[in-house]
Chains A and B, each alone.
Chain A
Amino acid sequence: MIGLLVAAPLLGAAVLLCGGRHLNRTGHWLGTVLAGVSFILAAVLFVDMLGRPGDDRALHQHLYSWVPVGGFQADIAFQLDQLSMTFVLLITGVGTLIHLYSVGYMEHDERRRRFFGYLNLFLAAMLLLVLADNFLLLYVGWEGVGLASYLLIGFWQHKPSAATAAKKAFVVNRVGDAGLAIAIFLMFTTFGTFAFGPVLANAEEATQATLTGIGLMLLLAACGKSAQVPLQSWLGDAMEGPTPVSALIHAATMVTAGVYLITRSGAIFNAAPDAQTAVVVVGAVTLLFGAIVGCAKDDIKKALAGSTMSQIGYMVLAAGLGPIGYAFAIMHLVTHGFFKAGLFLGAGSVMHGMNDEVDMRKYGGLRKYMPVTFVTFGLGYLAIIGFPGLSGFFSKDAIIEAAFAKGGTQGWVLGAVTLLGAAITAYYMTRVMLLTFFGEKRWQPDKNGNEPHPHESPKTMVIPMAVLAFGSVFAGGLFTSNDAFVNWLKPVTSFEHGHPPIGVAAITTLTVVMLLIGVGAAWLQYGRRPVPVVAPRGSLVTRAARRDLLQDDFNHVVLVRGGEHLTRSLVYVDNKLVDGAVNGTAAAFGGLSGRMRRVQNGFARSYAVSMFGGAALLVAVTLLMRAV
């Protein structure tokens, strides 16, 4: 039954990618239906799981032993517990909606069948990732989603920028994947296995150094996949992919795999406080980093990408807080999955109506022309800024409280960072909203001189947006009533109530105040006066933020140049020192033998001289030795 969850989209991928052109007319519906089948299976399993008591909800399924060699046991085995279930529902649910959306969005693309094949491949890999019951199988899924992400970012490979972005994402992810591989090696040498059960149960028996090492390597893996500092540079460029891909992979599901990994390995992090501190720091830094980048981008998708980075920063930060934060990290992940996917789909809908224009400065006043998109996008917007009563409010507020509850100076710093993040989030999302839907029309004809004629998108696109908007509004309230979500995850992630040093009511008030400050600042700048079509030069910080806070320049100077210098110096050492020693020895022997060759002149008398000389020497030495 669990295997079927993965098998359905995998079958879809196989049929769509191997099947020929005659599937072109029906292929997209096949892909969508198989994603839907997966979702229905997940829903059945979910209902079944709800019927059992809390501690008895995990299901295990052992398919077969992949590599049984002595002490090394690699199994293809699945584990479906509450944490996996949450992800499975999110992946298949949002996945199905986005398949449906893509039917409309990719209508005019002649390679639509292949697109749906890749989407199904992604679903299968992502489900494998969250259903695996050992780290090795998780790694298979981890690489699978990396592959699907690469293929989909570079889907419009005829554009050089898309091809480059795909390569960039692939290479940066590889750095993180190396971290995961090393973490698995360390687990195997320490625990003799990499199955979740034994590794996590025995985590505390390992030495502190080993646990910190495993934790840091897992964090590196999470940074790569979830676009956290310092491996964040790929996410902005990944927006070159089709918008449904950005919504599904680079907002709702794949990029949250890092949070899943950290939460799943919670036992290791709980026993390694240093690694946990590193996780919190990475989360806090990325939270502000992504938010600042999001403020400066004029490309609607890149602004949302900065926002994704920042929101995942919240999740990573919460996951780094330990048992007081895991459940909230996952809760924010799910609500974020709803509203961010909805926002991306809305952005796609706007682009669809505006001749694929992405520059928000060339939008303006679209609310009259695209009312449904405006409403769904608006609800997603209210959810992400944490408007009281909507999803984002509940999940983000919980994380801010947990950050304060960390205690000590750390608690205050983290609390302040998360509050500041909330204000910046409100600022840049309001900016997106005002630039796109309000103000006067700033539309420009596209390259071919076609004036845009904004219109509402087809039903296949509008329905998923409406469903996601519904989720953005109600999911948070549903999850927090009676602590339903926390109680649901408690048996897997464990949970402790955090006790913030200031009252919960005070924190909520502060959050709302920060939210109002952010919205107000954005309104003062973009709502009150007309927005220039060409972006003003801006301050130093703005220009840096437009260049993704110089992350690519940093990578270029430190890693590319540094790497070049390193290899050059290594080549120099190799040529001069290593080769020099070898070649020098050879040349010395060559020269020596060239000289010695002259002794062999062919004259018998000269040989006789050497014989006599040698004999005389022997006699002399013998006599001398005797004398001594």
Chain B
Amino acid sequence: MNPVNYLYLAALLFTIGAFGVLIRRNAIVVFMCVELMLNAANLTLVAFSRMHGNLDGQIMAFFVMVVAAAEVVVGLAIIVMLYRSRHSASVDDASLMKL
């Protein structure tokens, strides 16, 4: 199977993730879309690793996974706290960062 197809798949996943981040209001869904984008990037890295025949991309993918895991921990904690204080997980409700 042609490894380029993995790149197409990754691009598709990244686009879906990006649109999800931009159009969904639910913080959990937005969060999952971010994960989707990260994993699309991981898929790209692994695919390039395969295409070039070395392990650099796979090592990079592990780093991304570690960072993603850390991000999930912090991010979910923020979302839980947000929900507790506002009884809503909508990102548009937290629009205090303006003049």
Q: Which residues of A contact B (CB under 8 A)?
A: 597, 600-605, 608-609, 612
Q: Is the CB of A600 within 8 A of B99?
A: yes
> Which of B5-13, B52-60, B62-70, B89-97 sits within the interface?
B89-97
- Complex CA gap A609/B30 in Å reads 13
- Complex CA gap A608/B31 in Å reads 13
Q: Which residues of B contact A (CB under 8 A)?
A: 18, 21-23, 25, 30, 91-92, 94-99
Residues of A within 8 A of B91 (CB): 603-605
Which residue of B22, B96, B98 contacts A605 across the interface (Cβ within 8 Å)?
A: B22
- Complex CA gap A605/B21 in Å reads 7
Q: Is the CB of A603 within 8 A of B99?
A: no
- Complex CA gap A608/B30 in Å reads 11
- Complex CA gap A26/B91 in Å reads 101
Q: How far apart are A87's CB and chain B's nearest CB, in angstroms?
A: 80
Which residue of A597, A602, A608, A612 contacts B95 across the interface (Cβ within 8 Å)?
A: A602
Given contacts A600-B98, A603-B95, A604-B97, 17 further A-B contacts (CB under 8 A): A600-B99, A601-B95, A601-B98, A602-B95, A602-B98, A603-B91, A604-B91, A604-B94, A605-B21, A605-B22, A605-B23, A605-B25, A605-B30, A605-B91, A605-B92, A608-B22, A612-B18
Q: Closest 7 interchain pairs by CB?
A: A602-B98, A602-B95, A602-B97, A604-B91, A603-B95, A600-B98, A601-B98
Q: Is the CB of B21 within 8 A of A603?
A: no
Q: How far apart are B75's CB and chain A's nearest CB, in angstroms?
A: 12
Q: Is the CB of B21 within 8 A of A608?
A: yes
Residues of B within 8 A of A601 (CB): 95, 98
- Complex CA gap A89/B99 in Å reads 86
Closest to B25 in A: A605
Enumerate 25 A-B pairs (CB-CB under 8 Å) in ascending A order.
A597-B99, A600-B97, A600-B98, A600-B99, A601-B95, A601-B98, A602-B95, A602-B96, A602-B97, A602-B98, A603-B91, A603-B95, A604-B91, A604-B94, A604-B95, A604-B97, A605-B22, A605-B23, A605-B25, A605-B91, A605-B92, A608-B22, A609-B22, A612-B18, A612-B22
Residues of A within 8 A of B25 (CB): 605
Closest to A607 in B: B97
- Complex CA gap A604/B91 in Å reads 7
Residues of A within 8 A of B21 (CB): 605, 608
Q: Is the CB of B92 within 8 A of A603?
A: yes
Residues of B within 8 A of A608 (CB): 21-22
Residues of B within 8 A of A600 (CB): 97-99
Q: How far apart are A584's CB and chain B's nearest CB, in angstroms?
A: 25
- Complex CA gap A604/B25 in Å reads 10
Residues of B within 8 A of A605 (CB): 21-23, 25, 30, 91-92
Residues of A within 8 A of B98 (CB): 600-602
- Complex CA gap A608/B99 in Å reads 18
Closest to A615 in B: B18
- Complex CA gap A604/B78 in Å reads 14
- Complex CA gap A603/B30 in Å reads 13
Residue among A597, A603, A609 with most chain B CB within 10 A: A603
